[in-house]
Amino acid sequence: MKVTIIGAGPGDPDLITVKGLRALQEADVVMYTDSLVNDELIARAKPGATIHKSAGMALDEMVGIMIEAVREGKSVARVHTGDPSMYGAILEQIALLKKAGIGYEIIPGVSSVFAAAAALGAELTVPELTQTVILTRVEGRTPMPEREQLRDLAAHHSTLALYLSATLVKKVVNELLEAGWSENTPVGVVQRASWPDEIRVRTTLARLEEDMKAHGIRSHAMILAGWALDPALHDSDGHRSKLYDKTFTHRFRRGVKE
């Protein structure tokens, strides 16, 4: 018996993976972050499973419950929002499980960055515009390593996906302007992506703070910034991927001469 760490996806209970759902349905003990994981998903656990909410628990208590359950021969599902590898705080849980000699497996999930991109109808990697997405956050109570300050990361002018930053927009805007981003750089913000009360805001760097305020967005939001978010791309003929270009030869198709 082991602990299965499951990515629940961004909110919509149907956005868990098939494998994740199966593990959830088979678990004897389920522990989940109650503020962020949809209760509708947890309701799919098997009847009679013991359900724990972890939001009010300290690390030792949380992992203690998991260890005890596994030692009693029970299977444990630890459900995290989005994908567990992004700001999931799973590392300290894994370290304690390992110390106790308990095995674990991680089942990935749909991170909120992808749910937000889907909500905005965006491709984050647009040919000849940017082929890179930087997943990061701005410095709040958790200090950022010196070499990862937003203004330095932004120097690449790639797409930026900002987690945990909705209350720090002023800083986001200042750092990006400092990095040389123009005020009219497109920004998309999605609060509670894939939940029934999802809010989508399309704006620019200059209007970001004001527009977020106008929509009352202070938490649970993904900020996607960069020219890949330009809504005008949907109506333009430029930036076509070579993959579907008929003159381009690749592994699955021979190109034709024009």
Residue nearest to ligand SAH (CB): 82
Nearest to 27 by CA among 9, 4, 11, 8: 4
Min dist. Cβ of residue 158 to ligand SAH (A): 18
Shortest CB 180 distance to ligand SAH, Å: 25
Judged by CB, which is closer to ligand SAH: 21, or 193? 193
Helices (H), 136-252: 150-153, 169-178, 208-214
- Give the binding site for ligand SAH (CB under 6 A): 10-11, 80-83, 86-88, 111-112, 115-116, 163-164, 190, 192-195, 220-222
Minimum distance between the CB of residue 128 and ligand SAH, rounded to whole angstroms? 28
* CB closer to ligand SAH out of 69 and 115: 115
Closer Cβ to ligand SAH, 78 or 220, answer by number:
220
Least spacing, CB of residue 58 vs ligand SAH, in Å: 19
CB of 67 to ligand SAH, least distance (A): 23
Question: What secondary structure does DSSP assign to 149-164, as a single string?
Answer: -HHHHGGG--EEEESS
Rg of the chain over CA atoms, in angstroms?
Answer: 21
17 versus 50: smaller Cβ distance to ligand SAH: 17
CB of 258 vs ligand SAH, minimal distance in Å: 43
Q: Looking at beta carbons only, is 11 or 226 nearer to ligand SAH?
A: 11
CB 135 within 8 A of CB 226: no
Q: Which long-range contacts (CB under 8 A, 24 or more apart) does 233-241 make?
A: 233/126, 234/121, 238/128, 239/126, 239/127, 239/128, 239/129, 240/127, 241/127
Rounded distance between C-alpha atoms, residue 188 and residue 115, angstroms: 12
> What are the tokens at 134?
């930087």
Rounded Cα gap, residues 153 and 130, in angstroms? 14
Closer by beta carbon to ligand SAH, 14 or else 245: 14
